[in-house]
Amino acid sequence: MKMQESGENYLETILILKQEKGYVRSIDIAMKLEFSKPSVSRAMGLLRENGYITMDPREGWIELTSSGREIAEQIYERHQVISKWLMDLGVAEETAVADACRIEHVISRETFDRIKDHIAKASHQ
């Protein structure tokens, strides 16, 4: 199933929050993304229904499933690599991060792999 960009953003945010705080709740996601709590609740329901997250019914803790983690890690890697690459090309950090956030969702695996290869070769010269 092809995931929408918004779903990828939610999964990436869950991964980042988990790394930063050690736990994730819907309110944390809403605050990080500056989205309304009802919007986040709806998205979490869809991600749960599709098997990308689990939610503790009593405490509301959100965890990535293995398939959710795989997508989140892939998007996060793309974000980090593309942001750094753009900054290395002289793009201002704020612009590079914003552009990487858009690019990371539409770039093909092949193109991303070639960018990584190019970066690796350039760093060894």
The answer to whether residues 27 and 66 belong to one domain is yes
> Which CATH number goes with the domain that contains 57?
1.10.10.10
> Which CATH number goes with the domain that contains 117?
1.10.60.10
The answer to whether residues 85 and 118 belong to one domain is yes
Could you tell me the pTM of the whole model? 0.87
3-state helix/strand/coil string of 46-96? HHHHCCCEEECCCCCCEEECHHHHHHHHHHHHHHHHHHHHHHHCCCCHHHH
Backbone angles phi, psi at 55, to 5 degrees: -130, 130
Q: Looking at residues 73-95, what average pLDDT do you find?
A: 95
Average pLDDT of the chain, as a whole number: 93
Q: Looking at residues 78-84, what average pLDDT do you find?
A: 95
92-103 pLDDT tens trace = 999 999 999 999
The answer to whether residues 55 and 81 belong to one domain is no
Split into its structural domains, the chain has a count of: 2
Domain ranges, residue 119: 74-123
Query: What pLDDT, on the 0 to 100 scale, is given for residue 1?
Result: 44
Last residue of a domain, one of 28, 49, 70: 70
